[in-house]
Chains A and B, each alone.
Chain A
Amino acid sequence: MSAVAAHADVEAHVAEADYQERTRRNRLGLWLFFVSELFMFGGLLVARFYLWRENGEIVRPELDQNLGLIITSILLLSSYFMNRAEVAIAHNDRTNFLVSLLITAALGTVFLVGVVVFEWGAHLRPWDGVFGAVLFGMTGMHALHVLSGIILILNVWWLGTKGHFSAEEHWGVEACAIYWHYVDLIWIFFYPALYLIGRAVPA
């Protein structure tokens, strides 16, 4: 091996090690951001169990159970397609990667429509006492994260169509995927808290 080739090889190794180190730090930063967000979502969850009570008994407003189940299933399905996009780019399957991202964004949009149009369009309003305030606070803050997640996914998709990301370097896709799964994770706790736990009472 010539000295020039050996030098190029060393440089490639250094660049890869540098990328791995940066990815490790980025990942830690992202998770620290999630921890900070947990305080907000945790606060909302605590508020729900503190305020939605009648004579010490946990209650909840009568919400559309079918709608709750459908939008929850849609969000879970979107998480699968987000994972599929990540696996696809890790194996340089660009077509599957781009299609899976679009499906994820579409499912996220359907979830958003389910919450904003159908749930918010039902009988409860934000000013309807603790039921309205907590319901809109929880679903509103979550919907905002879903919306930002959709924008992020479409941004990653756009970059993907321009040839960005590869099997070796796709931290951007991983970060987007983890963020989307985090949004799903929050809903895993919000769904039973809003729709299932406690005695249903007329709002």
Chain B
Amino acid sequence: MRGHYRTGILVLIALAVLTGIEYVIAVSFPSTALLFLVAIMKAALVLYYFMHVTSLWSEEGGH
């Protein structure tokens, strides 16, 4: 169980770092494409780790 909690913490840290990067990009060298790229990376993390998007096509029904 601790491993599962650890994964959540690591994802949270990654999201926080990416949000910080987003902010730095916006204030130092604003680029719409870069900001969208970072947002897509954050979205991918949420979709994969938090929303379990892969469970949609997995054989096991889950809970």
A interface, CB within 8 angstroms of B? 19-24, 27-28, 31, 58, 65, 69, 72-73, 76-77, 79-80, 82-84, 87, 90-91, 93, 167-171, 174, 177-178, 181-182, 184-185, 188-189, 191-192, 195-199
Contact assessment for A185 and B51 in the assembled complex, using a CB-CB cutoff below 8 Å: yes
A-B contact pairs, 6 of them (CB 8 A): A21-B61, A84-B5, A174-B63, A184-B50, A185-B47, A192-B39
Contact partner, A171, options B25, B43, B63, Cβ 8 Å: B63
Structural contact, B51 and A182, CB atoms closer than 8 A: yes
Q: How far is the CB of B11 from chain A (nearest CB, A)?
A: 7
B11-48 vs A, Cβ < 8 Å mask (1 yes, 0 no): 11001100100110110001010011011001100110
- Which residues in B have their C-beta under 8 angstroms from that of A198? 30, 32
Size category, B interface: 20 to 34
> Known contacts A23-B62, A168-B63, A197-B26: does B19 contact A76 (CB below 8 Å)?
yes
Contact B12 A181 (CB under 8 A): no
- Please give, as numbers and ranges, the residues of chain B lying within 8 Å of A83 by CB-CB distance: 8, 11, 49-50
Cβ distance A52 to chain B, nearest Cβ, rounded Å: 12
B8, B16, B38 interface centre (most CB from chain A within 10 Å): B8
Known: A184-B46, A196-B25, A197-B32. 16 other contacts (CB 8 A): A23-B63, A27-B62, A73-B19, A76-B15, A79-B46, A82-B50, A83-B50, A87-B4, A174-B52, A185-B43, A188-B39, A188-B46, A189-B39, A196-B22, A197-B26, A197-B35
